[in-house]
Amino acid sequence: MSHVVVTRDEPARPPARVAALQLAPVLGDLAGNTERSTAAVSAALAAGVDLVVLPELVTSGYLMADADEARSLAVTAGSSVLTGWADACRARPGAVVVGGFCELGEDGAVHNSAAVVDASGVRAVYRKVHLWGGERRLFTPGGAAPTVVETAHGRVAALICYDLGFPEWPRAAALAGADLIAVPTNWERGPRPAGERPIGQVAAMGAARANHVAVVCADRTGTELGVEWTEGSAVVSAEGWVVSEPVVGEGTAWADVDLHASRDRAPGRPGHFWNDRRPDLYGSVVAPLVDLLPVPRVEMGAAGAADALDVPGAALPGL
C-alpha cells in the first residue's frame, strides 16, 4: 500500500462542516427509508453541512431474519437509492454523503456496504470486512481495503461499525491518505458505567488519536424488534476528542472540522505518527491466527476451577 506524504506548507483551506445524521430506519421499508434518508440529507445540506454520514443499513434496517430477507432489501450501487443522495448533493457545491446500505453485488452476493456519493454519483462502495454476530448469516464479507476518495473538502474513507474494533483497519485507511473516516454504525444499547461514553465512541476516539485523522460515526435511534440503540453519533477530531454535542433521538451531531489538519502527523509534538512506527516488529499483528497457536497455558487461579487450558484458542474468548 502506498503512503501519501503531505508537507505542512499546503495552503490553508476553510474547515468543512461535517455531520452524522442519527435516524430511525424502519426494518423492511426500503422505499420509506430511502425517502426519509434523502430528505434528511437534503435538509442537512440546506443548513450548511458539507459532508453527511448516515447510519449503517439505513435503507433496510438491521435485524433481518435471514439471507432471503436481506436479499429482498438489497440494491445495486447504481440504484435510485444512491442516485437520490447524489441528486441531493447537487444543491450544495462540493457536498458529500456517506451512507450504509444493503448491497446486491455484481456477482449476486449481498453485502453490508457504505457508499461515498457526491453530485457526480457514487464515487466508491466499501463492503464491511468484519461481520458482527448474526451478520454472517446475511452477508458476504468484503475483501478489500477501504477506498480513499478525494473530495472537495479532503480525502474520505468509509468503515462500518465493527470494523472500528480492529485498529489495523482505520490505520490502513489513514496510511492510504484518509483525512476523515466516516463510520456508518448500528450500536446496540448495552450497560456501561455511569458517566462513561459509549464504547463505540471510545473506539472512535482511539482510532482518531492513534492515526491523527477525523472520525465521524453515524449511529441510529429507535427500537427494532425490541432492540434499542446506543444513539452514539459523534464527530471526533484528529486529536481524538468528541467535538459534537450528544444527540438523543433523531437529530444531528455536527462540527466544523479542518480535514487537512489530519495530514500533519506530528502536530506540535516531539513524535511523529508515521515516522516513529516500527513495522519490522508488528508481524504478529497481521499473522494468521494459526501462526499464533498453540497459546500458553492459562492459569485460572480460583480453587476448584480449571487450573489450565491447553486447547488452542482457549485464551481467545469468542473464537
Same domain, 57 and 193: yes
Q: How far apart are CA 235 and CA 52, in angstroms?
A: 11
pLDDT at 223 over 90: yes
172-196 average pLDDT score: 95
Q: Which of 254 and 304 is assigned the larger pLDDT?
A: 254
Output DSSP code: residue 129. Answer: S
In a domain, 237, yes or no: yes
Axis crossing angle, helix 199-211 with helix 168-175, rounded to the nearest 10 = 40
Q: Would you state the pLDDT for residue 102? A: 99
Q: Would you state the pLDDT for residue 307? A: 39
In a domain, 4, yes or no: no
Number of structural domains, the chain?
2
Axis crossing angle, helix 30-46 with helix 80-89, rounded to the nearest 10 = 10
pLDDT at 135 over 50: yes
Same domain, 198 and 301: no
Same domain, 225 and 141: yes
- Of 7-16, 66-75, 239-248, the range with the lowest mean pLDDT is 7-16
pLDDT at 6 over 80: no
In a domain, 215, yes or no: yes
Q: Would you state the pLDDT for residue 298? A: 54
Tell how far CA 305 is from the center of its chain.
Answer: 40
Q: Would you state the pLDDT for residue 273? A: 82
Same domain, 276 and 291: no
In a domain, 120, yes or no: yes
Vertex 238: Cα angle to 17 and 25 (nearest 5): 55
What does the block give as the cell for 130?
Answer: 468484519
217-226 average pLDDT score: 97
Give the rounded percent of residues in the chain with a pLDDT score beyond 70: 86
Q: Would you state the pLDDT for residue 13? A: 76
225-234 residue pLDDT tens:
999 999 999 9
Same domain, 246 and 106: yes
Q: Would you state the pLDDT for residue 3? A: 39
Same domain, 269 and 302: no
Q: How far apart are CA 170 and CA 230, in angstroms?
A: 22
Q: Which of 217 and 290 is assigned the larger pLDDT?
A: 217
* Residue 87 lies in domain: 16-280
Q: Would you state the pLDDT for residue 261? A: 86
Same domain, 238 and 294: no
pLDDT at 63 over 50: yes
What band does 12 get if pLDDT is binned at 50, 70 and 90?
Answer: low
CATH number at residue 87: 3.60.110.10
In a domain, 106, yes or no: yes
In a domain, 45, yes or no: yes
How high does pLDDT run on average in the chain?
Answer: 89
Same domain, 95 and 67: yes
In a domain, 5, yes or no: no
What band does 305 get if pLDDT is binned at 50, 70 and 90?
Answer: very low
pLDDT at 87 over 70: yes
pLDDT at 211 over 70: yes
Same domain, 54 and 88: yes
Q: Would you state the pLDDT for residue 265? A: 73
In a domain, 7, yes or no: no
Same domain, 239 and 291: no
Structural Rg of the chain based on CA atoms: 20
Same domain, 295 and 275: no
- CA proximity to 146, closest of 183, 173, 171: 173
Tell how far CA 108 is from the center of its chain.
Answer: 24
- Of 80-84, 139-143, 208-212, 289-293, the range with the lowest mean pLDDT is 289-293
Same domain, 297 and 214: no
Beta-carbon contacts of residue 68 (< 8 Å; ≥ 6 apart): none
Strand (E) or helix (H) holding 216: strand 214-218
